[in-house]
Chain A
Amino acid sequence: GAVVSQHPSWVICKSGTSVKIECRSLDFQATTMFWYRQFPKQSLMLMATSNEGSKATYEQGVEKDKFLINHASLTLSTLTVTSAHPEDSSFYICSARGQFGQYFGPGTRLTVT
């Protein structure tokens, strides 16, 4: 149990385009989901916390207009990287909080050319 999926697992896009990443809790309801970003050889950095039905809380330094987060249901949160630039290339990991713990998705590798 407690499986979190992410889609897509990897994506390449051109600079200036937008990319949407989906995070789903497959077998449990997640009132809270987290989005992390990880640059090569670095730790995970929390970008934002989203609660179902309310606006996401962004960490300092994360542009909310650039990284749009929607948590429309208890099993789905989406992260949209708007007007992507090469410096947005990173590994994005979502995490969902269930009753018994916090579970991570497999991650999405974004490359912006």
Chain B
Amino acid sequence: AQKITQTQPGMFVQEKEAVTLDCTYDTSDPSYGLFWYKQPSSGEMIFLIYQGSYDQQNATEGRYSLNFQKARKSANLVISASQLGDSAMYFCAMRERTNNAGNMLTFGGGTRLMVKP
């Protein structure tokens, strides 16, 4: 079974509007971390936001916020006031605490976001 699922392969959003990118995860580990990365066409991976499983509040970083619903095992990324430069691939990733001596990340399939002017 997939550990990280991103159900939206591609999305369009109008410039200046908000957009939500979905991410659901599967783990039995009580301690885990969730990450969102942006990958523009250049290929580099840019860290956006992090949410720990024990964090009480949803993470926010500038125009990025993470809608963390623990019971539903979802960690959706919300981008407010979209900009043309937001057009990129977005990856959700998870790091589990146990059985993960290397602390590796598991990635979802990604969502390609295209911002329309």
Contact = CB atoms under 8 A, between A and B. Distances in A.
Interface of A: 32, 34, 38, 42-46, 49, 51, 57, 91, 93, 95, 97, 101-107, 109
Interface string B99-115: 00011111111100000
Interface string B33-63: 0010100001111010010000000000000
B3 to A, nearest CB: 12
Contacts of A49: 102, 104
Interface residues of B, number: 19
In terms of DSSP, what is the predominant structure of the interface of chain A? Answer: strand
Contact of A43 (B43, B50, B91, B102): B91
Contacts of B42: 106
A91 B104 contact: no
B44 A104 contact: yes
